[in-house]
Chain A
């Protein structure tokens, strides 16, 4: 069983987002970067499945050298090896096309449901199409039994249970597992695990991020007296006209 897990490196969830260079560049100053939370779930579940089936887990990441601490974190969780495709991850299609080039020969490929920075949620489906294999989005459960994977996944307004044989690609949603916390032995071992660096080669870029903006600030809050809370209903009905 060979499993590939795609990870992205994102600003910590507490980050206050700002932009520089006339709102064209995300301001990385003082920002702490982490493994995308959904990708951590993917790594953890991949390790559990690999451990139960005598398999291996390979991590792949498209990014520059500054993301290596996050790749080492995934290795310290227990992954066997990692590949870093050296490029600025300009958009989901670029990332998927780069990953597709090294993604042959795996029984299972996992991504996070989406990255919490660009929120595309696209890499799973893009990889599925590029590799011509099934893609299964937002899975909350993955089990493996003699050649078949079974999944629970979120659908609009409910859940679905699926079965599919590998190779396939799936994206991890919350509830899949509890993210594994690296122990000291894992951290030490990760230092010497193989991390291969490959240069990017996709040139036909599908999208360019041109600029960014922040949501408009809210005006000051109108407080309603708690004793007279029913007044809120009146306001929502007759002033805001939303209910």
Chain B
């Protein structure tokens, strides 16, 4: 029985969230005395590096067809069954969340998504997961023998103490997907928001989409992803994929800088797990200041140039 991790990749590279998932699996493996096997269903040939994060073996299943929920799940479930997976770990990404429920059904497993902690084994198998869109946490006991866990990015630290591991090729006969992928448009050179360690976010206080160049400049100087509040995405100033909050995406970066966002309860829900929060707002009564670690009361149009010039010096 082993712990199996889905090694998610993008553009022929393993994702940072994969390293987190393997490190996470390794920690459970150490607790339970199980080995960690990473499964690489992609066209990446060289996967030995996954050993550094705690995998004792990587199974490579060459796949050049891209990810489809039905076919990739069938391949992955079949490998999980072959090697007798008792715990399956994926990242709580769009890919991971398409995969995890299908795997859970195939393996007759218990499923938990949005998981943010290593399981507590003192009384069964209990995981902590984010609920109410970041407003609370729940402790959930998983009852079935096999467990499928989707781990929230940035909730578990990468541990790269190991060394390269053995790799093996496997092939699986799966039915062709019923889904045809017509086009994939990835925004290149940008950090995906859910995985970003640093996020610069702005709201209506920026007055219009034409003023976002300052936000982008600040973000690029510190290597951050950009995000926005709900009104900003509703008005079409920014794409909805940047909307963080209760009805957008929930993030937990190491640093969240909120500029011209008042801090409504729905917005705070999506960002309050950030490790350090900076609020910049001209209204000293803005609710964000109650949830921030650092604050600057003032006009974003005066403060942003100061921050940018401080970074350039």
Nearest CB of chain A from residue B99's CB, rounded to whole Å: 8
B105 with A130: CB separation less than 8 A: yes
Residue of B whose beta carbon sits closest to that of A173: B240
Neighbouring B residues of A214 by C-beta, 8 Å: 135-137
Within 8 Å by CB of A17, from B100, B136, B293, lies B136
Q: How far is the CA of A41 from the CA of B244 in the complex (A)?
A: 18
B70 with A233: CB separation less than 8 A: no
- 75-94 of chain A: CB within 8 A of chain B: 91-93
Within 8 Å by CB of B136, from A96, A135, A213, lies A213
Q: Is the CB of A185 closer than 8 A to any CB of chain B?
A: no
Within 8 Å by CB of A157, from B105, B192, B250, lies B192
Q: How far is the CA of A226 from the CA of B281 in the complex (A)?
A: 10
Q: Which of B50-58, B138-146, B201-209 contacts A (4 or more CB under 8 A)?
A: B138-146
Q: Is the CB of B26 closer than 8 A to any CB of chain A?
A: no
- 192-243 of chain A: CB within 8 A of chain B: 205-215, 218-219, 221-226, 229-236, 240, 242-243
B246 with A116: CB separation less than 8 A: yes
A235 with B294: CB separation less than 8 A: yes
Residue of B whose beta carbon sits closest to that of A158: B186
Label chain A's interface by main secondary structure.
mixed
Q: How far is the CA of A128 from the CA of B178 in the complex (A)?
A: 12
B179 with A136: CB separation less than 8 A: yes
Residue of B whose beta carbon sits closest to that of A151: B179
Q: How far is the CA of A116 from the CA of B55 in the complex (A)?
A: 34
Neighbouring A residues of B295 by C-beta, 8 Å: 221-224
Residue of B whose beta carbon sits closest to that of A36: B247
Contact A215 B273, CB 8 Å, known A135-B69, A206-B111, A243-B255: yes
Q: Is the CB of B113 closer than 8 A to any CB of chain A?
A: yes
A160 with B10: CB separation less than 8 A: no
Q: How far is the CA of A168 from the CA of B98 in the complex (A)?
A: 14
Neighbouring A residues of B192 by C-beta, 8 Å: 156-157
A211 with B309: CB separation less than 8 A: no
Nearest CB of chain B from residue A130's CB, rounded to whole Å: 6
Q: Is the CB of A69 closer than 8 A to any CB of chain B?
A: no
Within 8 Å by CB of B178, from A157, A164, A175, A236, lies A164
Q: Is the CB of B277 closer than 8 A to any CB of chain A?
A: yes
- 101-156 of chain A: CB within 8 A of chain B: 116-126, 128-130, 133-138, 140, 150, 154-156
Label chain B's interface by main secondary structure.
mixed
Contact A218 B273, CB 8 Å, known A120-B114, A157-B186: no
Q: How far is the CA of A144 from the CA of B306 in the complex (A)?
A: 51
- 124-169 of chain B: CB within 8 A of chain A: 126, 130-144
Contact A119 B114, CB 8 Å, known A214-B136, A221-B290: yes
Q: Is the CB of B182 closer than 8 A to any CB of chain A?
A: yes
Residue of B whose beta carbon sits closest to that of A137: B98
Query: Quick one: CB contact mask for B61-102 with A, threshold 8 Å, 1 for yes?
Result: 000000011100100000000000000000001110111111
Q: How far is the CA of A135 from the CA of B47 in the complex (A)?
A: 29
A243 with B198: CB separation less than 8 A: yes
Residue of A whose beta carbon sits closest to that of B68: A134
Contact A242 B140, CB 8 Å, known A155-B95, A218-B277: no
Residue of B whose beta carbon sits closest to that of A163: B180
Q: How far is the CA of A236 from the CA of B198 in the complex (A)?
A: 11
Q: How far is the CA of A243 from the CA of B307 in the complex (A)?
A: 13
Q: How far is the CA of A9 from the CA of B247 in the complex (A)?
A: 14
Q: Is the CB of A22 closer than 8 A to any CB of chain B?
A: no
Q: Is the CB of A49 closer than 8 A to any CB of chain B?
A: no
A binding-site residues for B, Cβ under 8 Å: 11, 13-14, 16-17, 19, 37-38, 91-93, 96, 116-126, 128-130, 133-138, 140, 150, 154-165, 168, 173-175, 205-215, 218-219, 221-226, 229-236, 240, 242-243
A116-B132, A126-B105, A242-B255 given; 14 more Cβ-contact pairs under 8 Å: A13-B246, A119-B250, A125-B102, A129-B101, A130-B105, A134-B68, A135-B70, A136-B69, A137-B69, A221-B279, A231-B310, A233-B307, A236-B255, A243-B198
A-B contact pairs, 29 of them (CB 8 A): A38-B247, A93-B104, A116-B247, A118-B131, A118-B138, A121-B113, A125-B99, A126-B101, A134-B70, A137-B94, A155-B95, A156-B10, A156-B192, A157-B187, A173-B240, A206-B143, A208-B141, A209-B138, A212-B139, A218-B290, A219-B293, A222-B294, A223-B296, A226-B303, A232-B310, A235-B294, A240-B293, A242-B275, A242-B276
